[in-house]
Amino acid sequence: MMENKDKSSKQLCWAYLLHLGYNMWGDRGPDNALPERVKSKYPPRSYLRCDKKIWDDLLKKFVKAGINMVVIDLGEGVKYDSHPELAVRGSWTPSFLKKEIAKMRKMGLEPIPKLNFSACHDFWLGKYARMVSTDIYYGVCRDLIEEVIDIFDKPGLFHLGMDEETARHQERLLYAVIRQHELWWHDLYFLVNAVEKKGVRAWIWSDYLWNHPDEFFSKMPKSVLQSNWYYGNVFNKQVSYVKAYLELEKHCYDQIPTGSNWLFAENFTMTVDYCKKHIAPERLLGFLQTSWRATLKYWHKAHLNAIREVKKGIEIYSSKS
């Protein structure tokens, strides 16, 4: 991963979350709360939702905007050698993905793998999503982590997800799974250890902190890179999601704060401005933009808007104010 020796934008990770796989929101019932404009876009599909032409165009746009890291949400998007049963129609072969990774590196983009093992976002795991915390499940998770690290030729980071595993976030799913207390930590440690055994640093979403601050800070290893996320437009410590940035800094965790144009276009630049002022440069490793849109023509404009916000964020971070 790129070093962060000073407050130069060239040293920071300016990252963008790009979806290869997209079966992460699970099997929702018919009575769901998604807006009409996106309702039909999110249910799981038996085919790959990734347009290669859009993918290629976005990579070029990343380079022009100054983005230097791409976090690839893999999910069902790969026909894994270890578990080909997870593939859908059109999933990429490992050899094809390797070629894409090599191409990205030549472009100056650092590819980082992401597999979300949160029980709220693991529909991509197929039948294994209903075997959470069993011996079979652990074996599959270990197999996938090891294979992905080999495909990426030992990347600097591996994003494990682990967000939104709560009853509230799963109340409209047909099948809900929530690990709690020691079991959540046991499984997190298992996943982190699987990554670290391969010489790679684990990276997670930090929202477990929101509801369990004391437990989080007593049990979360400092080796695990943290990405707190907040998509609103009010930045002060009275907002609990924003306060999490300050608490992580207080406890000396490395961070890559995360913004999005999901709700407000200006969220990413506001995130950069706020975190630049409140997180020490030695612990602020970069920023991550998450549009949460599939890599499809339908969402192309939303991606381009998100990329423009990253470019603005780079300019804000580089300014002396």
Predicted confidence pLDDT, tens digits, the chain (321 residues) = 554 444 444 479 999 999 999 998 776 665 555 555 555 557 889 999 999 999 999 999 999 999 999 999 999 999 999 999 999 999 999 999 999 999 999 999 999 999 999 999 999 999 999 999 999 999 999 999 999 999 999 999 999 999 999 999 998 888 899 999 999 999 999 999 999 999 999 999 999 999 999 999 999 999 999 999 999 999 999 999 999 999 999 999 999 999 999 999 999 999 999 999 999 999 999 999 999 999 999 999 999 999 999 999 999 999 976
pLDDT at 24: 87
Residue 1 domain flag: no
Contacts of 146 (CB under 8 A, 6+ apart): 82, 194, 198
Residue 8 domain flag: no
Whole-number Å distance between alpha carbons of 98 and 90: 16
Q: Which of 257, 267, 263, 245 is nearest to 287 (CA)?
A: 257
pLDDT digits (tens, 9 = 90+) for 172-184: 888 899 999 999 9
pLDDT at 129: 96
Whole-number Å distance between alpha carbons of 99 and 296: 21
Residue 6 domain flag: no
Give φ, ψ of 226 to 5 degrees. Answer: -110, 135
CATH number at residue 246: 3.20.20.80
> What is the domain range of residue 79?
13-318
Contacts of 184 (CB under 8 A, 6+ apart): 165, 208
Angle at 199 between CA 86 and CA 58, to 5 degrees: 55
pLDDT at 63: 98
What are the tokens at 22?
């997209």
Whole-number Å distance between alpha carbons of 187 and 182: 9
Residue 7 domain flag: no
Contacts of 276 (CB under 8 A, 6+ apart): 7, 284, 316, 317
What global pTM score does this model have? 0.94
Look at the chain and report how many structural domains it folds into. Answer: 1
